[in-house]
Structure formats: structure tokens, C-alpha cells
Homo-oligomer: A and B are copies of this chain.
């Protein structure tokens, strides 16, 4: 670690809404984004929903002069949509694909096909090692009845594990992306408390942008009126998070978001607002109480997450049971049909009373039911395994945290500039 190196880095993050033939004005918006990035020359650009390889390559070409280093993370059926552009050389990359990510038959939501993941890039900023993460979690389609909540909580759990375990050698950690979680949501608390990452909106000395730092606002012309539900004005679900190392601190000098429009253009860059953060550091760490994490609080958060995962477990068990029962009924129906058809065939010479059309249609239906339920059974079994795995890991984590708590007569603040309770300490 270089002692004398100082860091001044400008980070940009945007969910590009780049679904070809579905998103509005995609080519024009990519042109606008390319133009903005060429002009602003951010150090690090973290993009989400760059679904098309062609769009990535055209951006890469356009940004070759100002951002010679880039990487497009691939996963799932149509890719992870994650891309990073950098002024500084990317020395290493690594991708972690979340074990749970919605359902393949929810084609209208499409998250499953995207293979949601967290991508990591290792950069050298001067003499400092920076681990830069870009991610995009499963969308929330209904706040009141969010059937994907257990999946998103497991994604947040895996995200904190990945950041915590891979960032021990880093001097600076930066995470940007569309977390699809509000600041006070369980997953956000889990991520921030466990990793010690800090929110640039809350930490910034100066802010310019939408009210309350919102990144999905009703004023954006691409947002359907009324789609915000009771949160009329908008929500904050995109973030730039950061932290230094255990010895050195990083600060956020300035943070901004776009405000639902792009200067000199008829429409904004995307349906999400773009985020920019100017980070500065590192300086020798002055441990203050506000930097500390209460182990007891973390126990509560992980316990809450465990409860949510258990809800998901029950739901997945019920779905698997339904699939098995429907499959068994399909099989029984098929046997019944064959038995009915076999009776006149066994009583030689008797005429077949079963109309052929009905016979074949019914048989085809039975086979289709059997095949579909078998696939669903396999899918739900894998979902169950992932949920059980996360629940096991959370139980172990709570045990380990409680063990630590027993060491304190009173729950004490717990130095936490970096992933507070992991092996990095």
C-alpha cells in the first residue's frame, strides 16, 4: 500500500435501460450517454442494463480515447447487462452470479434471463489498489406484494459476502449500481452494515440533484404515470457506495444526479437518473464512533434476513409440492385414459367407444403436464437448495456474531471501516 498516494476519482453510474426494440429511443440515448461520458471524462463508469453486445461495442469504440479500458460482464441467457469503462487499466476481473434470480416462466419480467450478478474489476489508481464493483439486483414489481423479496434478500446477502471476502487487499472499494432496494430496505441494511460501505448520497459534503437523492422519479417521461404507486415523487434505488481500508479513509466531496432531463436533448438518458460521485482520499483514519457498527444491530438485521429467507423457503416448498401433485394427477389421468382405451381392445372385437380425437388430445395434454411439472420440480428443487444454503450461512453468521457479543459485557462499537465481522479483521 502506498503511503503517500492520494486519490481523486470521479465515479459515474447509470442503469441504461438498454433493451433493444423494447426500450424507447435506445440508439439515440446511447449516443447521448456516449457524448456525456466523452465530455465529462469520469475516471470510472459503471453501467447496468447494457444488454446488447453491439451497444457495448459501439460505446467502447466511441469512448476509446477517454476510457481505453473496459469490460462487459457476461452471464445468464442474454448477459448480465453490466459494463465498466475506465480511464485506468483494469488488471483483473471476476464475476459472481447470484444463486437466485426470479423464475424463467415469468417471461414478462425477464430478470431470470438476465443472469443478474456482481462484476468486480481491480484497478490501480496511482499506487492504490481499487476494487470496483458493479451490480444490478432483481427488480421489485410490487412493493406491497413483492414475491421476489426472498430472492432479493439472498442477492443482497451474497453481494455483501462477495464484497467482504474479495476486498481485503483493496485500499479503496467502490460499488455502483441499481440495487432495486430503498435505503431502509432489509437488503440495503444488510449490505451496508456487514461490509461497512458508505452511501455517497448521505456522506457527500455537497449534493446537487433530485429531492431526497431519488433516482427513479415520476417526472421522468419514460416512467409510466402512476407506476410509482404511493411513492408519488419517486424512489432512491441506485447507489454509489464506497469505503477505504482499515487504515485509510475515503471521503465523498460531491454527489449529483440528473433530474429527469438531459440538457439540449428532448428526452433523458434513461428511465433511471444517472449518479456521479467525487471521492477523495485516503487519509489516515481517525476512528470515530459514527464509523462503528454495533454487532448487536447486525445480529438483528441478519435474523430479519433469515426470517425473510424462511418465508421464501416455505413458498418454494409449497410451489414444489404443487408441481409434484399436478404431475401426479397428469400421470394418473394418462393411466386412466390408457385403461379406458384398453378395455375394448382386450375384449377382442368390441368397438372402440373412445373418440380418437379426444384420445389424442387428452394424451398430449397429459404428457405436456408431466413434462412441464417435471421441469418445474427440478427448478424449485434448485431454488430450495439455494434458499437453504443462504439460511444455513445466515444461521452460522448469527452464531459467530453472538459469540463475539459474548466477549463484550455490553455490546460495544466495533471498528468497521472494512467488512466489519469477516475474516478481514
Contact = CB atoms under 8 A, between A and B. Distances in A.
A91 B357 contact: no
A73 interface: yes
B77 A382 contact: yes
A74 B389 contact: yes
Given A71-B396, A74-B392, A385-B115, A423 B79 contact: no
A75 B93 contact: no
A389 B73 contact: yes
Given A92-B422, A169-B424, A392 B71 contact: yes
A90 B393 CA distance: 11
A131 B422 CA distance: 12
Nearest to A169: B168
Contacts of A26: none
Interface residues of A, number: 60
A77 B383 CA distance: 8
Interface string A115-149: 10000101000000101000000000000000000
Contact of A364 (B78, B357, B364, B386): B364
Interface stretch (A13-21, A94-102, A231-239): A94-102
Interface string A385-423: 110110011001100100100000000000000000111
A72 B396 CA distance: 11
A166 interface: yes
Nearest to A381: B77
Q: Which of A115, A129, A385 has the most CB of B within 10 A?
A: A385
Contacts of A368: 367
A381 B71 CA distance: 20
A356 interface: yes
Interface in A2-41: none
Given A115-B382, A169-B168, A423 B92 contact: yes
Given A166-B165, A169-B424, A423-B131, A386 B94 contact: no
Given A94-B393, A115-B382, A169-B169, 18 more contacts: A76-B385, A77-B378, A77-B382, A90-B396, A91-B400, A91-B423, A92-B165, A92-B396, A92-B397, A92-B400, A92-B423, A93-B392, A93-B393, A96-B96, A97-B99, A104-B378, A367-B368, A375-B375
23 contacts: A71-B396, A74-B386, A74-B389, A77-B381, A77-B385, A78-B385, A89-B400, A89-B403, A90-B396, A92-B422, A93-B393, A94-B162, A95-B99, A95-B393, A97-B99, A115-B385, A122-B423, A165-B166, A166-B166, A169-B169, A356-B356, A356-B360, A367-B368
